[in-house]
Chains A and B, each alone.
Chain A
């Protein structure tokens, strides 16, 4: 069975704080793909990053960074120096190598206050 767990339902921070969103996944496959999506208050789903199971290198994109650790089945997302515009629901998701269906976590609602 495959599963994605985002244990943090809601997080509230003050602007300029760093914040980490946790994602833990379960899969029996050795080949799989992990994703993060952002859903701002306007409602659309915005793709942020894709990572395959063979690439454990951490990724940094501006204020965003991702830490992928196969040993703990985690793919955590950190926002450095958070801004009000980062306020959104963030979803972690998984596709295994049989393909097709994105398995989403329940999402973490991040609120960044000025």
Chain B
């Protein structure tokens, strides 16, 4: 099992460009999450999904959109990138056995995004 994988690993964008980050998990998990990690800020939740076709906002959703068309994939989109979105992005998934989403979250390797 690969667990949680993320594509790409690194990316450099210019302000105003768009891109999509792909997260895939092969653990048959129901729940998936996108976080960003910034120095001194820890990890903050951007969006999450409790199942195929459903998404919800997290702590810092502005400037991002997400889609979960297939259970195993969770996409994070930046429509018009800004320098403030320079960060390391982590995807995570959890089993969904807990209806309250308290299951252990397993993380992908991260995507390092720089917006110039």
Contacts and interface: CB of A to CB of B under 8 A. Distances in A.
Partners in one complex: yes
Contact of B98 (A46, A99, A107): A99
A44 B100 contact: no
Contacts of A105: 42
Interface stretch (B15-23, B65-73, B77-85, B103-111): B103-111
Interface in A64-114: 91, 95, 97-102, 104-107
B102 A106 contact: no
B88 interface: yes
A100 B109 contact: no
Chain A: interface secondary structure? loop
B101 interface: yes
B59 A102 contact: no
A50 B42 CA distance: 19
B104 to A, nearest CB: 5
B109 A102 contact: no
Interface string A30-49: 00010101000011111100
Contacts of B61: none
B66 to A, nearest CB: 15
A99 B101 contact: yes
B51 interface: no
B107 A99 contact: no
Interface of B: 35, 40, 42-43, 45, 48, 58-59, 88, 90, 92, 98-102, 104-110, 112
User: Closest 7 A-B residue pairs measured CB to CB?
Assistant: A99-B100, A99-B101, A45-B107, A100-B101, A104-B42, A44-B109, A104-B43
